[in-house]
Amino acid sequence: MRQNKLSAILLGACLLLAPRMCQSASFRVATYNLESYLDQATETRRPKTSESRAKNQESILALKPDVLALQEMGSPSALAELQASLKAAGLDLPFSAHVTGFDTNIFVAVLSRFPILQNHSHTNADFLLNGRRHRVSRGFAELDLQVSSNLVVTLFSAHLKSKRAVAIADEAELRIEEAKLLREKIDARLATDPAANIVVVGDFNDTKDSPSTRAIVGRGKTKLVDTRPAERNGDNQPNPNPAWEPKSITWTHYFGKEDSYSRIDYILASPALARRWVTNDTCVLTLPNWAVGSDHRPILATFQAD
């Protein structure tokens, strides 16, 4: 009851005090792994340099998102610094969420132009693997955003287990279990409301055809739609093989050890939200010296608000 009253107050404040915030023909959702956006050292990571933070901020400003999901964010003070820096540069994202998990060094976070009506984020999600209980390393963000007076969008954001080997279990098996758990959270929302407008974003740390990514995408009537952001470089031809995606450039991550480039960051939409998808305003950012900021490139997808 108290939560419902709070939601009503937030919605009323949004409609009465900030109509411009709530009314927009479209809205832009971005996701970006910042590569250790830390303002202070931890046991395993160094603070991010000012040069690298500046490139992160330049990349975000180039996309001008209304909703920004972040991976490898540092402490709440690091998030506040980024939020203030973006505002000073003209991008005001006044609403925020910082989501903790088992990993105490890096976190999932969200900045938003829209009010957060409900925060259902999962900070202690766990699963059983080979007889041992494991916690999800970075937690899952789950936020209900008041995009317009008649549109609420649920955002899920995740940063799944990397391909780096660990002693406790096989990294691929850990990633699959995290992905299955995330899909359970998504299915729970769709079971309550099959027409829910849901966007699922983040660093899934594996390619499209991997078992973990397939688990998140799902199947059947509740299968998520892959927006597949690509470079805006003029490529517009279909693949000669109709079973494959176009040959547009979609990589989001550079792995130095293998000298390889792959697409491991995603923006997925529920069937209802996919009907609002603006395909010609969806992209992966191309920016000179992008790697100064991160080993990932940010991606953006746009949706109709009304």
Residues in the chain with pLDDT < 70?
1-24
In a domain, 236, yes or no: no
d(CA 56, CA 64): 13
pLDDT in the model for residue 229:
98
As a whole number, the mean pLDDT across the chain is 92
Q: How far is CA 304 from CA 139, 185, 204, 301, in A?
A: 29, 25, 25, 10
pLDDT in the model for residue 21:
44
In a domain, 238, yes or no: no
Burial class of residue 239 (count of CB atoms within 10 Å of its CB; 0-12, 13-18, 19+): exposed
- Give the total number of structural domains in the chain: 1
- Assign residue 192 the CATH number of its domain: 3.60.10.10
pLDDT in the model for residue 24:
64
In a domain, 53, yes or no: yes
d(CA 286, CA 232): 8
pLDDT in the model for residue 165:
83
Q: Which residues constitute the domain of residue 101? A: 27-231+246-304
In a domain, 22, yes or no: no
| pTM metric for this prediction | 0.91
In a domain, 8, yes or no: no
| Cα angle, residue 101 at apex, residues 96 and 102 outer, rounded to 5° | 160
In a domain, 5, yes or no: no
pLDDT single digits (tens) 76-100 = 999 999 999 999 999 999 999 999 9
pLDDT in the model for residue 23:
52
Whether 216 contacts 204, CB under 8 Å:
yes
In a domain, 171, yes or no: yes
Neighbours of 291 (CB within 10 A): 14
In a domain, 84, yes or no: yes
pLDDT in the model for residue 306:
83
pLDDT in the model for residue 163:
87
pLDDT in the model for residue 44:
87
